[in-house]
Amino acid sequence: MAWRKTGVAVDAFPAGSKQEVNLEGTSVLLVRLGETVRATAAICTHEGGILADGTLNGQRLTCPVHSAVFDVTTGAVLSDPDGIEPPQGAIPPIASYLTRVVEGMVEVDLPT
pLDDT tens digits along 5-59: 999 999 999 999 999 999 999 999 999 999 999 999 999 998 899 999 999 999 9
Extents of the domains making up the chain: 2-110
pLDDT on residue 82: 78
Backbone angles phi, psi at 82, to 5 degrees: -95, 5
| Fold annotation for 2-110 | Rieske Iron-sulfur Protein (2.102.10)
Backbone angles phi, psi at 59, to 5 degrees: -100, 10
Backbone angles phi, psi at 11, to 5 degrees: -70, -25
Q: Which residues contact 9 (CB under 8 A, 6 or more apart)?
A: 104, 105, 106
